[in-house]
Every structure is written in structure tokens, then in C-alpha cells.
Structure 1
């Protein structure tokens, strides 16, 4: 093995004839190259850190300040506040050298002051969120204050090209709403779910909470908001994710699908090599902070904190709570193929392997005749198991020996690649193929995805790809950004030759992938793995996933209706759910809060008073199309405001969650908080973002769009719905539910969504006819 080879690369012997030194030049050269690479990475990080510390000022501006201060001093011009001469008073002598040193010290002081002034000025500008609530587009009016704000932010944006973390110190903290505002918004959101008697009851309880224990809990939250970077994020990660004991598979992890309208190669090894190479380049751009942060409207930065843990990261199980372990660097990936695990080096002689060299390694794995040892094939089922059971098994069977070493290699890998032994297929005429595509990625076989890793890259036999991602380290928007960049870069013609292979020539045979060693001699370990596998199959067999391709119309038609596409779809989901379930239910829509530092998500509550009124009007044949359109407009407007509030830190659910955490710490019982936080989200929805970077231009490359991704149902008697607006005439819906629940059916709900969207199109057609008829009647009179 390479490790053993390096251990004896240098040796010496002492005899009666003297001493002799023996060394392996090749291995020592590898050690040298590895050290050089590490130091290069350290220096790049130091340089990026200095650059980010100075941002939005230029590093080069320091030399300008030094030259100006020095010239002014030697020209007998007084430097502001006469700082150079003041500094000279503490110097050892009055020589020219010490005058020069004083100029340097004063220059650095001035420069740091300028940097801090610019940084806090930018931070003050980014606190302003008035732009979010002002309508945009033709005919809309922008206030003078927002126009001035836009100009000032553009000045800072153009002053210096930002790196990935350049804005971090300028991004403001998440604001803490008042208890009164949160109670007001919460009461409004639950009104359509309750009758008058129940609503009167919860109104009284909300008032009692606000005027009672709520004040005490809020005071502690105020202290936390002053002290911490983000008053939500650390508790959200710990209590929502890490303390969760349910299996990650289906219940927490999410998946993403290939760009299904393009198929660059059917060669499994070539596709794996090309995609892995692009992912490793993306990792390098994160490490060197060369990746430009996501900018809303190309101007307002989003927090980039989540990118740090994208690679080299694993969620490690614990008895009561898990933990996220992130490694600063990793020189290998782990490949799963036919139940066998391989450690695959990704560097050789100090450089990243080329795609053709990676392809050579993958081909060696695919051609291997190795078969898994007894227990190895179902090993990954442990990561799909109950977290406490997996923690006990880890401590008992994987805390020593080869099992500990191999587990460490998996968890410290850059990421995991699964070379599947089945194809991922897509055919518009056979929707069940896309459903199976999604199932492969959501759960696979229950034993061929390492669900603890930040993500597992899945490569099918026909070259189709997808991923399964763990949710604790980051949100879907970050993986969507990576996936979007990958799809666009891989779509370039030079990525594959005419035979579907990666281009280029292998300069030197890369190091071969090596099998990970396991010890399964303990019968109780084998029984544990079998039990984990059996439990994973129960979860898999009970999940119902349907991927709906809606191509009747898309964003193009919605724009003609003067509705936000997201609000339009959310109203369609409300109508579909009401028809399917017979009543309204608490609805979850994820919204990001990355306009604030370390922001993650907030809940938009699409089921509103206005949306309920519109749905009931759609069910009432006596209501005119004109009235229905008016109600729909009000519902969409209310939804848009709710989304804006959530993005601007004025949501409901994260504040209530943190108040509840404080109450648990203080051991104060709050039946009100406990009750409202235990309400199930029977309709959990999320829009998959795309077009986050200028690279994704669907007008030029319409086939680059991914089919989005999905997740399992949040409630056992509800639906999980993820959707992506894939173009002017295409929407993908990923609908999940539990088969054992008689109240839900993913296929039935997909039909209700199609029916709702069709009825909404008919509605606007009727509305136009009514408007035309009204104009004609008015003219005749």
C-alpha cells in the first residue's frame, strides 16, 4: 500500500563499517509535492483572507496611501492630524529610516480606517430592505430613497471584484421581530384553518402569551441576537437537524436530477470522471475563495457561509445528538460499486488528475471482478437507520481496527461516488421512468448511498447522473448552485470526444483505487447490518414518489396574468390540496434568509385568508371569472408580501421556534408554544432555484435545465412538493407521500395539480371574454 511504501521511503543502517543512508527518491518527491501543494493552499487562503478583510477597498490601495503619506511628509506637507510627527516622538532617533517607518505605520493606520469606514458604510446600505417591497417592471415607480440606495451600492460593487467571502463582514445580522408583530402575523396565518370559536380561543391565548411569558423569553432572545452572528442558525442546525433521531434517508436528505434534455455521453466512467473533475474544480474555487458570491439582481450579496462545508464533510451519529465534522482538505474520494468500497486518489505528483486520468481509474473499478465480503454490500444501510441505533453500532463495531480506518476514509473523502448498476431513464411518453429516476436518487437501494456524507454523486450505467445530499450542512440552494454550474460547464463541446470519452492523453498512469478493508467477523455486527437494511426497505417501500412534467404552459403564460410565477403555482397547490383533502391545512414553503449573515431558511405560509377566499370562489360556480381573477390577484399579492417578509427577517416560524428553545432552557412550560409548534405541515413545498448565476442562460441553451429535485413528505399524512419552473412552457413537480396513509396518494395529487393549473388557464380565458364583452356592451350603450 502507498502508506506502507512511504513509511519506509527513508531508512538508515549502522554497521562496523560505518553508517549507510537509503532513501526512495520517487516517494520523497511525492512527499515534497504534497507539502508544496499544502503550502500553496495555505498561502492562497491567507491572501484571500487579507483581501476579504480589506473589502470593499483594494489591497493595492495600501500602496497608494503609503506613497501619498510619504510624499506629503518629505515635501513638508502636514499629514492629517500631524500623525507622522506624533509617531516620531516615540521613535528611537530622528533618522531618515525612522521617518520612513513612521510613514508606513501612519499609512497602514489610515488605510485600515478607510477600509473599516467603507465596510461599515456598505453594511449600513445592506441593512436597507425597502427595495424588496417596491414593485419592479414596466410602469412601476421606484422611490427616490431606493434609487439613491441602488446607486451607492453599485459604487461599492464596482469598486472591487468580490471573492466568495468578501461581503461576509458587511452582511447585516438577522433582525429579531417583536413578539407583538409575530403574534399578529401568526394569528392572520391560521385564520383560514379555524372556525370562529377556535380562532377566538387562540387569539386570547396569543394575547396572554404576549403579555406574559413571551416578554421574558423575548428578553433572552434579544441578548442572543446582540451576542451571536445569527440568533436562529445554530439552534436550527442543532435542534431541527442534529438532534433528530429519524433516519436521514427520505426523512431529511434531498436529491437532484440530471439535465434530462441533454445526454452528453452514455459512457459511465467518462461521465463520472468529467463530473468529478468539475466538482473538484468547484471545491478549489471555494478553497481559494475565487467563486463570486450569489448576488440578487446582480447587486445585493447573499451570505456564502454554507459553502465552506460543501465538500470534505460528514454528519457523524451520536446517541442523543449528531455532529457535523468538516475536514480542511481531502485528497481522495470514495467510490461505491456493486457493494464494494474504494478509496480513489484525486491528486498525483502535486496536481489534480485530469478527466482522462480519472476515467482510467473509474474504468479499473468498473472492470474489477471483486465482490463484496459478507456484510459489506448492505453496510451503507447503517447511515439510513435510526440515528441512535447507528450511533451505538458505530461505537461498538467501528471505533477500532480496520473498520475505524475505513470509516474515517469515507467520512473524510471529498465526496462519495456511487457507480450504480442500473440506468436512469427519462421518456415523456413513459412518466414512470422519471419516477424511478427520482427514487434511485431519493433512496436508491437503501445501501448504495452514504447518507451521512454532504452529498453522494450517483452515476447510472447509461451515463445519467444525480445526487443525494445531506441537509444539515446547507440548504438546497447551495447544491442547486453547484449543480447549475456543473451542468453548464459540462455542456461545453470540449468535455467529451466523438466516442463519448473524456479528451486528452494520460501522461502517467494514475495511482489505482484501493479496496477499503472491513472486519465482519462479529456475528452481532452482521445482524445489526441486516436489521438496518430491513428497516431501510420498510421506509423505501412506504414512500410514494411521483415526478410530474407539466408542459401545457409555464412561466410565459403566468407572466401574462400579471402574477408572480411562484405565487401562481402556490395558489394552484392550494386549490389542488383543497380538492384532494377537502379542507385547508397548514402549508410550508421554504424561503431563504441569506440576505443576512449565516441565514438559512424561513417559512412562508401560503395558506392565507386571501388564498382561501379564492379557492372557495373557484369551487363556487356562481362566482364570475372577473371576481375570481380579482381574488386571485389579492391572494398572489398577499403571498408575495409573505415571501418578502420571510426574506427580510419578518417571518413567524423561526422566531416562535427560538422562543420555544429559550423556554426549554429556562424549564418554563409554555403550552401555547408547544401546541402551535406541534401542528403538522401536511403540505410542505419548496421551489428549486435556478438561474442563480449568469452562466445559466436558458434562452441560449434551453436543454441545460435540470428537472430539479425533491424530498420526502414532512408529515406522515401529507405531501412533500418540490417544483422547478424550468422555462416558459415547462414545470416539474416532485410529489412525495406515504403509501400506508389512506388519505394521500401522489398520483392522485399530481392529477389535482394538473386540473388546478388547467382551470386557472381557463379562468383567465373566461376573464378576457368577460372583459371584452363588458367593453362591447359599454360601447353599444
Structure 2
């Protein structure tokens, strides 16, 4: 699904994740946190190598069914490799028995890349203090070095263009070795300087933009390797987060990895100074041909243009959260999905093809199918919510009584339509997670036809099918347990919205995206419509409680 897409990874594919903000008094504290993150990733990788990752089971709908854990094994040491037409995933080798693995991380600092071995067969793992010292070496070295070649920007390009540039790079032996080291590294640790925040944007949104794309080539975007599945980001001004390449795993596995590292770093002691210093890490040296240098400059212009076109907002709705939604006897996910349909209808007067990811982990190697939330029942309810009330039919003399009885009748009808829409939404969701959705089946038929017939049957060339897979509202629930953490992504079509949501006890965090070049969409207008929709839904349910 992902590897054939030729669009650049930043904004179009890679989600960003924001961690709670920190305050660093000195650069040693930045290295402390980086060392603790890496130390936990080593623990996690060793647990995976031993096959000790606990099996998860479904908590609803065929409760107790085992869930596939394969995605959790495809996070560390994984890299997407660009190739013309279709990329490939490079996975770490499978360890045999008690075979000890050698591990490294790559630290990005001021656009330089430093490979740091953190585990070797002959000496074991580096301690957190030894890792911290290596990170400090890299930070000091990069600070005193001339400007680095901005090779990381190549990973932000159209995939075919990057694949061709990569072919030129690997003709040089040193470049080839650098790319191999990056590919097999556990992760990229991006140590950013401060800066890059937009003056007209709130702190949460600025943090998300830096996680998604690095805030532009004048700031941190070249200090990235967007092909890498896990990029941890620590900025000297306290902005912390992650950018992850989506083709290897879904958000649930990434959130689990990130929140574990955050929790452990929160309670860990400061890394103890090592008894002896190890050899200092050396920055990768690149031999960049003139043609590739020109490609890097093109990549910089294209990325900055894409960043300026992104209209993104992190919005925390504070009217209520999942506890109120549960009190309405409605699943928070169903409630929010219907709120999104209502918000869209309020703006445009119609619904559009909607994507909501549905986990298929009940099946081996299962990823996601699509819950199509724009159904007839949702349309009927949204239209009822938006229809102006007409005067009541009776002409009773008690005007106050007449108004109350009419409003209660109207609210009752809206509630009935909502409950019907919620039942339909739940039914579609259950069918999807149990393997009875339509999108993956159609995708399989389409690709099988392409391979066996060499061309697509008419049904897959029909305008209705094309409209059906153009998701103008792309959504997903990305729940986190750590305060101050949330994940967001871009829209998936030029005239569409991307909207993740994270229901908390008394709030809901939305990450809403669209493109400024579109004359159809507007992120702030959608945010306002969503706020009004959620407020109106609360009034609808409160009216039921008054009536009861």
C-alpha cells in the first residue's frame, strides 16, 4: 500500500509525534535524555530478539482472540529504501539462538550523521553514561565543523527522484557504506538546535510541525533521514518528538515504543559518567557528485514549498472528553467519527469519502482496513442537525409550553437519527476488524488483475471507483496514555483534510491538516465547525437527560 506511492514522505506519509516538553539548562541534559532513550531501545530490541514480547489479545468483539505482534518487530533497525516504481523495506537479520547482535544508532546533529556503536559482540552494551559521552562528542564536534552537505534532504523527495540520486551516490564506496550504516541502525537520533517555531502559531502546533518535517531547510529539515522507521527528535529548546516512516508499522506499535521510552526516562537516574572515554564518534563523510548536489538544492526548494503549503493545527477541544461520551452510551470512537461527519456537512452541505483505519491484527500480518464513516445514516443525522427548525403545527395559546414541547420533539428525532447512525458506524467497524471490510478485498483484486492481466478491468477505471478511493477526509484514532503526547499527519489528497484524534478523560486532541493551495479546504474553518458540532452534540444529549 505504501511502497508504491511516489509522493515525498514528509507531510504525505510520515506522521509526527509530540512528546511532553522539557527544560534543558545545559547541553549535557540533552545528551542525558538521548542516552536514556537509546538505552531503553536497546532493552526493547533485546526483548524482541529473545522473543519475549508479551502477546496481546482482543479486549472486545471476540474477546481474548490473539493479536498479531509482527509490527512491533518491524520498528528498530528498519529502513525504507527508494527504488524506481516501488520501494522496499530493509529489515534486520533474524538472530539464531543465543547469537549476540551488534547494534548502532546514527545521531544527526547540524546535518552531520554520526554512527555510534552501542552494542558489540566482544564488549557488550554501552552504559547510559558511555552513550551520553558519545552524544556529547557528536554535539561538540558538529558545533565546530563547517556546514555539512545536506544529504538528508534527498530523503524528502519524490521517491523515484530519490531512487535515481541514490544510485549515483552508491557508486562511491564511502557513500555506499554510509547508507548501509543508516539502514541497519536501530534508529536516527536527531539532536536539533532551538528555533523554527512560527510566531503566528501555538506551541503544540509548532512542536508537531517540527516533528513532521523539521520546520524547513533553514531550521531542521536537513537534520533528518525520512526513510528511517524511527527518528527520535530532541531539541535544545525542549521540543521533543518523533517522526516515523509509516510503511513498516501502524501507530499503535510506535506509540507503545515511544511511551515506554518516555516512562522509563522519567524515572531513571541521570547517566553516570563513564570511568574511561571511548574513541570519539566520527561524522560520515560524503562524496557528493555535482548532479546530486543540484538535486539536493532542488529537494530543498521543493520541501520548503510543501511546508509552506501545509495548513496544520493542533486543537484541544475542552468542552468534554471520553467520559461524557461514554455517559451518552456511545463509543468515543463512534461519537467522534460522527462529529467529524457533522462538522464536514456543516461546512459543505454534503459528505465525502472518509477513511478511518480499522486494525486487522486479529489476522497474521494484518495491518488495517477502512471504516467508511460517510454512510446514509450519518448523512441523515448530520442533515437533521443542520436543518433550521420550522414553526410548530399547533396553535396553542401557551407560547412557552408550545416552544418547549416542539424543541423536545426535535431533539428526540435528532437523537433517534444519531442512535441509528451510531449503530451503523459500529456495524461497519465490527465488520472491518473481523476481516469483512471491502477495501482490502478490492485492493487485492485490483493488484491481482494488474499482475495477471497486465491491465485493469473497467470497474477499477470507473470514475465511481476513483472517487471511492479519494479520501477527502482521512482520519484515525491515535490514543496515548502519556499527558502531552499526540500524533498527527497530513491530508492524503489536495482538496482533503487529515484529522487524527486522541480522546482524553475531559478533552479531545485533534491534529487537523489541509493545504493552503486548495480553494476548497481551510483548517481553521474546519476546526471551528468541529467545535460547534461537538458543542451541539452535547446540547442534544443534555436535552435527552432533561426530558428523562
TM-score grouping bracket, smaller chain normalisation: 0.7 to 0.9
Deviation at 1:423, TM superposition (A): 5.9
Does 1:532 find its partner at 2:272?
A: no
Q: Say if 1:423 and 1:464, in contact at 8 Å, map to a contact too.
A: no
Q: Which of 509, 528, 532 is the equivalent residue of 1:751? A: 528
Q: Which moved more, 1:622-631 or 1:550-559?
A: 622-631
Residue in 1 aligned with 2:132?
359
Does 1:671 find its partner at 2:481?
A: no
Residue in 2 aligned with 1:728?
505
| Higher-RCO chain (CA-CA 8 Å, sequence separation at least 6) | 2
Q: Say if 1:255 and 1:466, in contact at 8 Å, map to a contact too.
A: yes
Q: Which structure has the greater CA radius of gyration? A: 1
Q: How far apart, in 2, do the equivalents of 1:265 and 1:653 lie? A: 51
Say if 1:265 and 1:639 are closer, same or farther in 2 by CA, change over 3 A.
farther
1:329-359 deviations in whole A, cap 9, x for unaligned? 5521111111211111212652222222211
Q: Which of 439, 452, 464 is the equivalent residue of 1:653? A: 439
Does 1:597 find its partner at 2:328?
A: no
Q: Say if 1:344 and 1:512, in contact at 8 Å, map to a contact too.
A: no
SS at structure 1 position matched to 2:461: helix
1:653-685 deviations in whole A, cap 9, x for unaligned? 111111111222223542223334422110000
Deviation at 1:271, TM superposition (A): 1.3
Q: Which of 383, 399, 402 is the equivalent residue of 2:171? A: 399
Deviating above 4 A after TM superposition, structure 1's stretches of 4 or more consecutive aligned residues are 262-266, 369-374, 423-427
Residue in 1 aligned with 2:402?
none
Residue in 1 aligned with 2:98?
none
Q: Say if 1:424 and 1:462, in contact at 8 Å, map to a contact too.
A: no
Q: How far apart, in 2, do the equivalents of 1:535 and 1:689 lie? A: 32
Does 1:434 find its partner at 2:204?
A: yes
Q: Say if 2:500 and 2:511, in contact at 8 Å, map to a contact too.
A: yes
Q: Say if 2:23 and 2:237, in contact at 8 Å, map to a contact too.
A: no
Q: Which of 273, 277, 296 is the equivalent residue of 2:39? A: 277
Question: Quick check: which one's helix share is greater?
Answer: 1
Q: How far apart, in 2, do the equivalents of 1:659 and 1:571 lie? A: 30
1:580-603 deviations in whole A, cap 9, x for unaligned? 233110111001100011100000
Q: Say if 2:78 and 2:186, in contact at 8 Å, map to a contact too.
A: yes
TM-score (normalizing by structure 2): 0.88
Say if 1:369 and 1:247 are closer, same or farther in 2 by CA, change over 3 A.
closer
Q: Which moved more, 1:359-368 or 1:465-474?
A: 359-368
Q: How far apart, in 1, do the equivalents of 2:213 and 2:328 lie? A: 39
1:623-681 deviations in whole A, cap 9, x for unaligned? 71111112111111211111111000000111111111122222354222333442211
Does 1:467 find its partner at 2:467?
A: no
Say if 1:319 and 1:436 are closer, same or farther in 2 by CA, change over 3 A.
same
1:408-461 deviations in whole A, cap 9, x for unaligned? 21112111111011269999xx96111110100111133222011112111111
Deviation at 1:752, TM superposition (A): 1.2
Q: How far apart, in 2, do the equivalents of 1:390 and 1:581 lie? A: 38
Q: How far apart, in 2, do the equivalents of 1:763 and 1:722 lie? A: 24
Residue in 2 aligned with 1:506?
274
SS at structure 2 position matched to 1:346: strand
Q: How far apart, in 1, do the equivalents of 2:136 and 2:146 lie? A: 21
Q: Which of 62, 71, 85 is the equivalent residue of 1:306? A: 71
TM-score (normalizing by structure 1): 0.62
Q: Say if 1:335 and 1:342, in contact at 8 Å, map to a contact too.
A: yes
Q: Say if 1:380 and 1:448, in contact at 8 Å, map to a contact too.
A: yes
Deviation at 1:246, TM superposition (A): 1.1
Say if 1:258 and 1:527 are closer, same or farther in 2 by CA, change over 3 A.
same
Q: Say if 1:477 and 1:688, in contact at 8 Å, map to a contact too.
A: yes
Paired residues for 1:584-623 under 5 Å: 584-622=351-389
1:679-712 deviations in whole A, cap 9, x for unaligned? 211000000134xxxxx6xxxxxxx334320111
Q: Which of 313, 323, 329 is the equivalent residue of 1:556? A: 323
The number of residue pairs the alignment matches comes to: 507
Residue in 1 aligned with 2:265?
490
Q: How far apart, in 2, do the equivalents of 1:364 and 1:355 lie? A: 14
1:714-739 deviations in whole A, cap 9, x for unaligned? 111010001111x2102110111111
Q: Say if 1:312 and 1:330, in contact at 8 Å, map to a contact too.
A: no
Residue in 2 aligned with 1:339?
111
Q: Which of 717, 721, 745 is the equivalent residue of 2:495? A: 717
1:457-509 deviations in whole A, cap 9, x for unaligned? 111113442111111111111101212222332332xx14xxxxx24342332
Cα RMSD between the aligned structures? 2.3
Q: Which 5+ residue runs of structure 2 have no aligned equivalent?
A: 94-100, 390-408
SS at structure 2 position matched to 1:471: coil
Say if 1:313 and 1:669 are closer, same or farther in 2 by CA, change over 3 A.
closer
Q: Say if 1:684 and 1:719, in contact at 8 Å, map to a contact too.
A: yes
Paired residues for 1:108-507 under 5 Å: 240-259=1-20, 267-297=29-59, 299-328=64-93, 329-347=101-119, 350-368=123-141, 370=143, 376-422=148-194, 432-444=202-214, 445=216, 446-492=221-267, 495-496=268-269, 502-507=270-275
Deviation at 1:398, TM superposition (A): 2.4
Deviation at 1:405, TM superposition (A): 1.5
Q: How far apart, in 2, do the equivalents of 1:505 and 1:295 lie? A: 42
Q: How far apart, in 2, do the equivalents of 1:483 and 1:258 lie? A: 9
SS at structure 2 position matched to 1:327: coil
Q: How far apart, in 2, do the equivalents of 1:471 and 1:249 lie? A: 11
SS at structure 2 position matched to 1:395: helix
Does 1:683 find its partner at 2:469?
A: no
Q: Say if 1:586 and 1:682, in contact at 8 Å, map to a contact too.
A: yes
Say if 1:265 and 1:572 are closer, same or farther in 2 by CA, change over 3 A.
farther
